[in-house]
Amino acid sequence: MELEDGIKRINGTVEVEIQGFFTERFINLCKINNIKIWNIKNIVNGIVRFNIALKDFKKLKVIARKTKCNIKIISKKGLYFKFFKYRKRRLAFLLILVFILISIVSTTFIWDIDISGNTYISQEKIYDALKESGLYVGKNKIGIKTKKIINSLRVNLSDIAWAGIEIDGTHAHVKIVEKTKLPDSAINENSIGDIIANKSGIIEKITVENGTSILNVGEYVEEGRILIEGKIYSEFLETKDVTAKGTVMLKTQYEYKNQYYYNVQEKEYTGKSKYSIGIGINDKENYINYLDKSLNYDIIKNSKDINLFGNNISFILYRFDIYNLKDKLLTKDQILERANIDCENYIKDEILPNTKNGELLDKNLVIEQEDNNKINIKFEINILEEVGYFRERT
């Protein structure tokens, strides 16, 4: 009921003045006839003003005749009167119509596709396959047949076990289940071959599950040598070919070299910072530049990305922290401390991720060369790791 009133009021309201002897009766009759009036004001004795919805205005005529009141319109408000005023501006109406049409039509297209569930098939490959099967950004979603697309997608990409397409407004959600690949160990199960060293080092531990190894703990092994041979030798029976299996732990050595100077320049932040905004389109960034070129800045970005027809548009907020470069003279202890931290980071970021079950044993510091203004430092790093890969015998 209230919503209906609201719509009536948006459509148009009229402020009316009535004049007569029986204004009270007029109001009561309005109430009885279910004509909604509000903001009733008594201006002078016998003159009353009130607001009424445009739709109910015609009903007042009967009541006015009954109560012998005169009706006068004071002001008009609402959409109906606005439209009436601008009724001759046809172009404006046309533009409004076109705008509404465009917004309706644009919702029938697919604006964004997101793919989930893939681990080893790349996103672009799936995009291309989807495009071939008939689902792409900019495709009209009317008359789309998801079943057909899924079938052709499965033909195009043989690694997909199941696919589901859900169109939600202007978004298309593509869910994919990949075929599970057999792990390498399962493939190796039935083929005959050896385990080969892919790194050189000293053997720390060797456990053979299947096959024969002639190596001992403490022996040095070079890269490319057979660690476990896929053969079983017997005194009484013939030699038998098997799949080599086992783990070999090697102590391998890595190096970290760096040069350190006594004189260094360090950043000293002033605590002041400036802000700017920018827009990036496909990795090209433009921002409002009002910076003083004589100062040094650290740029910190905070961005929000939008994908539009395959283009990546990002709105970026920049923060520029101002700093001064200051000369500093380091002592030898400070340099060694810094070298230690750098080395530890190198081990953590570069070495250990590239090993299998890698573990740091120890690291030795060697000062290679010492000068008046610089030191060359080398770290010898010993790592315990699992090595060896399976190679099929031909």
Partner 1 sequence: MGIDRKEGKKLLKKINFKNKVSVAKEKFLEKLNLPDELVYDYAKITMIENTEILIEGSNNIVDYYDNYIKVQTKNIYIIIDGRNLNINEINDNELLISGNITNIGYISR
Contact footprint for partner 1 (CB under 8 A): 23-24, 27-28, 30-31, 34, 36-45, 48, 50
User: How near is the Cβ of 36 to partner 1 at its closest, in Å?
Assistant: 8
User: How near is the Cβ of 60 to partner 1 at its closest, in Å?
Assistant: 14
Report d(CA 226, CA 390) in Å as an integer. 10
User: How near is the Cβ of 78 to partner 1 at its closest, in Å?
Assistant: 19
Nearer to partner 1, 45 or 122 (CB): 45
Nearer to partner 1, 36 or 338 (CB): 36
Residue 323's Cα: distance from chain center in Å? 32
User: How near is the Cβ of 312 to partner 1 at its closest, in Å?
Assistant: 55
β-pairing, 284-287 vs 263-281, is antiparallel
User: How near is the Cβ of 147 to partner 1 at its closest, in Å?
Assistant: 57
| Alpha-carbon distances of 141 from 108, 135, 163, 169, rounded to whole Å | 6, 9, 18, 9
Nearer to partner 1, 16 or 126 (CB): 16
Q: How many CB atoms sit inside 10 A of residue 140's CB?
A: 10
Q: How many CB atoms sit inside 10 A of residue 238's CB?
A: 7
Structure tokens at 216: 């001992």
Are the beta carbons of 301 and 317 closer than 8 angstroms? yes
Nearer to partner 1, 27 or 163 (CB): 27
Nearer to partner 1, 30 or 150 (CB): 30
Report d(CA 184, CA 94) in Å as an integer. 67
Report d(CA 137, CA 153) in Å as an integer. 16
